Amino acid sequence: MKYFHLLLTLLIPEFSLAVWFPKPCVEIRCQARYAGYQPTVIPEGKCIKQINKVVHINIPKMKVGSCRSTRCREVDKTRTACSCREVTNCWWASWGAWTGSITQGTCGKQHRRRAEKDRARYVERYGSCSGVKGQCNGSYNSEDRTMCNCRKASSCPVAPWSSWTPAVGNGQCKDQTRHQDKKPSYTYVMKEQKKGEVACFGIDPDCRPPRITDTRTFCKCPTKECTERSWTSWNIDTWTGSCPNEKRTKTYDFKIKYIEAYKSCNGVGKDCPPTKNEYRKKVIKCPAIKLSPNSIHLDKACNGVDSSCTSVCRIDCKKGYKLIGQNHVTCHGSGKWTGKLGYCKDSEPPTITCPKLPIPTVNNKPGTNYSIISFPNATATDNSGFPVTITTSHPSPLKVFVHHPVEVTYTATDAVGNTNKCKRKFIVKDHEAPVVTYCPKKHRIIKTGLFPHQVFWPMPRFTDNVEADNELVFIPSVVNGTKFYQGKHSVDIKARDKSSNTENCTMTFELQMLKCPVDAPPKHGSATCNIKNNGKVEAFICTAACQKGSWFLEGANIAKVYNLYVCSMDGAWQGASVFNFDNLVHSHMVPINRGDPMWPDCSVGKSPNSVALDMQIFSGKCSDQASMEKLKRDFVATLKKDFIWGAAFCSQQQQCDVENAVVYCSKKTKRSTNSKDQMVIKFSISVRKTLNQGVLDKDNLKQLNTLTQALELQKTAIVQKVTSTAVKVLKDNSVKVNSQKPSISCKQGSELQSVNGTIKCLQCPSGTFYQSETKKCTVCQPGFFQNREGALSCENCPQGETTKGTLSSDFHRCKAICHPGTYSKNGLAPCTQCPSGTYQPSLESQDCIKCPSSNGKRQGLTDVKDCNFDGIKYEIRSEGCGDPGKTSGCGISTIKVEGKDYSKQRRGINFVAIDGSRGTIVGSASFDWHYYRNECTNALKWTNSLNDGTIVLGAYQDEATLAFTSDCQKALEAIGGKRPFQRQYRSSYVIVGYKGKTKKSWVTQQMSSYGRGPTQVTGRISFV
């Protein structure tokens, strides 16, 4: 009856849910439904009776004309259900123990057996358990074996060794032997006798081997026992030159003895050591030698005492003297000295005393880094008593520089040339402080949106009479980058040279509150901005809110709305979710990208008044997108015509439509039997109801819920109708249709959201678009904008332009992209060339990259390679009409600067002008003096209009002599060209020129006759 009342709710006029037709009637159809057999649980091994009760349902249906009703005749069903024990597997249990004992040293039979067991489960059967196997056969199995109780040698202890035999006599060698016997201990072990084996196979009953034998060869070897005799007396043996040599001898006596040895008597000593001999030189005496002046004797032989033949007499000199000549003589065998002794010469250097300096350091000469110093005199004496000469290593007076002390060497020289030195260091001290050459602006105003603010300042510059600028030490009163609060502040920077002389630079600055640029208030909303201070942080704060009936849209892909917007110290906005500024800390704030809107527009909210049934159609294989779009349109149009307008629940109070239709190609999963892709059409059938007063109150929400239930009841019929329509339009009998559960929905362009506990349809704000697939509002991505609300797509920016960030709601947010070599704060126009010393290879850049090693003097560099050359790279090519290898027609001219062609490539002559100090292109021009004489005058005016310091590159293209006048010559001469400029009709010509008062060595021109080109010049020019 519940379904009957529901359908009445849909059909009776006072509920506004049906369309009345002429002479309607209600036909009652009966349907029978079985609830299922009960009870469902059957006890194991038991049988029970089950009942399946029938439920009769009367379904009313409105018809026009006659109606016939039916009655249900189905009755309850009964059956017997059993839980039967079924044996699934029969298996043997484990073997029992072996029976029968075996006597030691014998073999005998043993027996064992095992029983059969089963594994069972319970299965459901209806009626009885007949035919179900309930148990196994229950038999037994047995087996026999032959076992032996075997004796085994458990251990084999060894007896002591016997004596060696046979005996060995003196002077003999014989082979001897000895042995050890094993005495075993026994134990018994069980061993199964396999078929074909002997009893106890593999078990050894005794020790193996029973005896161990050892052999050797033994000897008793004769040897001599030697006794040493005394030395003989010394006797002359030989002569070496004039020196006699003496000799004495020692021999040995011996006795025979026998000693034991193994294997043989080899190596046993049988002889005494050989006879020993000793030799010496005979003692000789030479006469005493008289001492020379300032010398001393070092050997006793000098005084005439006994010594050996060839003994020497050596001499040395007293302190301060050096030996000149031979330092020794030799005693001959005849008793005479050989050789001649030298003499002693004065070698001691004089004694020198350096002067004592009255002042260790001298101040620099004012304004310089040096002082002129005259050296005081030193004194010297010598052991010889003769006068001493004193010289210096540097001339006096001498210029001595600060930090570069000079060490002067004083040298004293005596009469024989001996020298001695001493040193004195002369130091010049810097007493002048550095001088300030640049001190940053004494007072500057800094504006920021958040305090305290980090302040940076340029470093002052100092010069010094001694140190280079980079050698000075800078001592600031505060660190560069310190945070300051609002108000006036001063910073002192002290420069100190290596001599600790100092000079100060003082700067002052004032921090004022900066108000960041505020976006327009959100559409359908308002914004308020003012300055707030919580004692720690002072900031420029904004808040935004929506008008009544509007709300901020929320979502994962929608810009977040913050409770507070705080102006940061760099002039950019940050968002904070806290409600009270007093609780604000830096970690609470989230940066908002420059170029992104501060806040999204508010969305107008309305109460939902429709219910949607989401559906999907899967059909055939994919084709191109245009063809699939046409099929989608044809299907939607046919569905509206054949079904939507004729449905019973569609009326003026309940408008039906097909919405959110999209078509796409779906990739099939690996599990699919058909691997081809298929076309998918997604759409929604929406039923929109006219609500009382347009407000989603309790009664209207109840009506929408009722409409949702009604649509769910009709879903099967709707699917059937959609399937037939799809088969007809798509011409595909294999069409598959899926449907979702109906739900409350919004019209296209609005997103369903819960606002303060109430369901609302929020219209997609400007800067977003409605995505039919997800039924969500999505932000416009960079390069797109949308100024309309509830739009279904975003608009493209013009080619070469984009937006900074997302959520762009206006065409004017599209800006030109900064090209390589340029930058801006947000990467969009207006753009600035990269300054000298930097480069940028990328598009849409917000800064430039510093060149390595501070190279790169040109502006607008696009590659790090450009940093390595502080000049201009050029390539010029002029093609004549008859030149081989010309590009096309009568040839072209190319003028490339840093690889980019700036030539206009027109007939006549083409020029490119370059700023010689920066390397930037200042202009390009072409003059057709192939045919027009006035073009020579125009060319002369153009070259005269160029500033001094301009580099001019030129090249002919299809040139002729027909219109070449004196003004053409003057135009080329103005940039350094030399006559003649054209030798032949349609020749080729290039020039690297310069407009300025000075001549440049790199100015050049080259030309080729007809058919002898092209003429080409490449090179590099340093900045002017």
Task: Over range 339-354, report the average pLDDT.
Answer: 87
**pLDDT above 90: residue 848:** yes
Percent helix, strand and coil across the chain, each to the nearest 5 = 10, 45, 45
Listed in sequence order, the residues at least 6 apart from 589 whose beta carbon sits closer than 8 Å to its beta carbon are 566, 568, 574, 575, 576
Is residue 720, in this structure, part of any structural domain at all? Answer: yes
Clarify whether residues 233 and 212 are in a common domain. no
Residue 861 DSSP label: B
Contact yes or no for 569/542 (Cβ under 8 A)? no
Task: Over range 990-1007, report the average pLDDT.
Answer: 92
**pLDDT above 90: residue 1017:** yes
Task: Over range 75-93, report the average pLDDT.
Answer: 87
Clarify whether residues 902 and 876 are in a common domain. yes
Predicted local confidence at residue 597, as pLDDT: 83
Exposed/middle/buried for residue 525 (C-beta within 10 Å: 0-12, 13-18, 19+): buried
**pLDDT above 60: residue 8:** no
Exposed/middle/buried for residue 989 (C-beta within 10 Å: 0-12, 13-18, 19+): buried
**pLDDT above 50: residue 847:** yes
Phi and psi at 3, nearest 5°, equal: -70, -35
**Residue 736 structural domain:** 612-639+654-667+677-745
Distance CA 223, CA 265 (A): 10
Exposed/middle/buried for residue 916 (C-beta within 10 Å: 0-12, 13-18, 19+): buried
Contact yes or no for 644/656 (Cβ under 8 A)? yes
**Is 709 strand, coil or helix?**
helix
Final residue before a domain boundary, out of 263, 280, 297? 280
* Residue 795, CA atoms < 13 Å, CB-side half-sphere: 17
Is residue 403, in this structure, part of any structural domain at all? Answer: no
Residue-wise pLDDT for 202-222, tens only, equals 888 888 888 888 898 888 888
Clarify whether residues 619 and 716 are in a common domain. yes
Long-range contacts of 410-413 (CB under 8 A, 24+ apart): 410/352, 410/354, 410/378, 411/352, 412/349, 412/350, 412/351, 412/352, 412/378, 412/380, 412/382, 412/388, 413/350, 413/388, 413/389
Instruction: Characterize the bridge pairing of strands 321-324 and 306-308.
Output: unpaired
Contact yes or no for 1024/949 (Cβ under 8 A)? yes
Predicted local confidence at residue 695, as pLDDT: 59
* Number of Cβ atoms within 10 Å of the Cβ of 741: 10
Is residue 324, in this structure, part of any structural domain at all? Answer: yes
Clarify whether residues 163 and 248 are in a common domain. no
Mean of the per-residue pLDDT values of the chain: 84
Listed in sequence order, the residues at least 6 apart from 338 whose beta carbon sits closer than 8 Å to its beta carbon are 329, 330, 331, 332
Clarify whether residues 560 and 496 are in a common domain. no
Residue 954 DSSP label: E
Torsion of CA 519, 522, 526, 527, to 10 degrees: -30
Predicted local confidence at residue 571, as pLDDT: 75
Map tokens 């010889």 to a residue: 384
Task: Over range 675-698, report the average pLDDT.
Answer: 76
Crossing angle (nearest 10°) for helices 715-730 and 625-642: 130
Predicted local confidence at residue 697, as pLDDT: 66
For the chain, the residue count is 1024
Residue 113 pLDDT class (50, 70, 90 cuts): confident
Is residue 433, in this structure, part of any structural domain at all? Answer: no
Torsion region of 757: left, alpha or beta (phi above 0 gives left; psi -120 to 50 gives alpha): left
Contact yes or no for 350/388 (Cβ under 8 A)? yes
Clarify whether residues 187 and 315 are in a common domain. no
Q: Residue type at 715?
A: K
Residue 823 pLDDT class (50, 70, 90 cuts): very high
Predicted local confidence at residue 755, as pLDDT: 85
Predicted local confidence at residue 995, as pLDDT: 94
Predicted local confidence at residue 904, as pLDDT: 93
Residue 693 pLDDT class (50, 70, 90 cuts): low
Distance CA 192, CA 148 (A): 6
Is residue 970, in this structure, part of any structural domain at all? Answer: yes
Clarify whether residues 493 and 547 are in a common domain. no
Beta bridge mates, 893: 878
Is residue 444, in this structure, part of any structural domain at all? Answer: no
**Is 7 strand, coil or helix?**
helix
Distance CA 756, CA 939 (A): 76
Predicted local confidence at residue 19, as pLDDT: 36
Predicted local confidence at residue 385, as pLDDT: 79
Note the pTM of the prediction, 2 decimals: 0.43
**Least reliable range by pLDDT among 440-449, 789-798, 915-924:** 440-449
Torsion of CA 701, 704, 705, 711, to 10 degrees: 180
**pLDDT above 60: residue 604:** yes
Distance CA 776, CA 416 (A): 112
Clarify whether residues 327 and 211 are in a common domain. no
Predicted local confidence at residue 696, as pLDDT: 60
Residue 246 pLDDT class (50, 70, 90 cuts): confident
Is residue 982, in this structure, part of any structural domain at all? Answer: yes
Residue 876 pLDDT class (50, 70, 90 cuts): very high
**Is 585 strand, coil or helix?**
coil
For the chain, what is the domain count?
A: 7
Residue 950 pLDDT class (50, 70, 90 cuts): very high
Clarify whether residues 194 and 272 are in a common domain. no
Residue 28 DSSP label: E
Q: Could you write out the DSSP letters of every residue in 463-525?
A: E-SSS-GGGSEEEESS-TT-EE-SEEEEEEEEEE-TT--EEEEEEEEEEEE--PPPPPPPTTE
Clarify whether residues 188 and 330 are in a common domain. no
Task: Over range 476-487, report the average pLDDT.
Answer: 86
Show the tokens assigned to 1015: 């003429």
* Residue 327, CA atoms < 13 Å, CB-side half-sphere: 10
Most confident of 12-26, 180-194, 633-647: 180-194
Residue-wise pLDDT for 273-287, tens only, equals 888 888 887 788 888
Task: Compute and round to an integer the Cα radius of gyration of the chain.
Answer: 61
Residue 3 pLDDT class (50, 70, 90 cuts): very low
Show the tokens assigned to 759: 């369901």
Distance CA 131, CA 584 (A): 83
Q: Residue type at 610?
A: S
Map tokens 């102006």 to a residue: 567
Instruction: Characterize the bridge pairing of strands 107-126 and 77-92.
Output: antiparallel
Is residue 243, in this structure, part of any structural domain at all? Answer: yes
> Which stretches does DSSP call E strand in 169-318?
173-181, 185-192, 211-228, 235-240, 243-250, 252-262, 276-281, 283-285, 295-297, 306-308, 312-317
Predicted local confidence at residue 16, as pLDDT: 37
Predicted local confidence at residue 922, as pLDDT: 92
Query: The CATH number of the domain where 313 resides is what?
Result: 2.10.70.10
Clarify whether residues 253 and 202 are in a common domain. no
Q: Could you write out the DSSP letters of every residue in 758-798?
A: EEEEEEPPTTEEEETTTTEEEEPPTTEE--STT-SS-EEPP
3-class SS string, 391-442:
EECCCCCEEEECCECEEEEEEEECCCCCEEEEEEEEEEECCCCCEEEECCCC
3-class SS string, 596-639:
CCCCCCCEEEECCCEEEEEEEEEEEECCCHHHHHHHHHHHHHHH
**pLDDT above 60: residue 15:** no
* Segment (H or E) for 264: none
**pLDDT above 70: residue 983:** no
Show the tokens assigned to 777: 């509002």
Distance CA 881, CA 523 (A): 66
Higher-confidence position of 296 and 360: 296
Final residue before a domain boundary, out of 717, 745, 773? 745
Rounded to 5°, the CA angle 59-711-71 comes to 5
Phi and psi at 709, nearest 5°, equal: -65, -40
Clarify whether residues 740 and 629 are in a common domain. yes
Task: Over range 806-817, report the average pLDDT.
Answer: 87
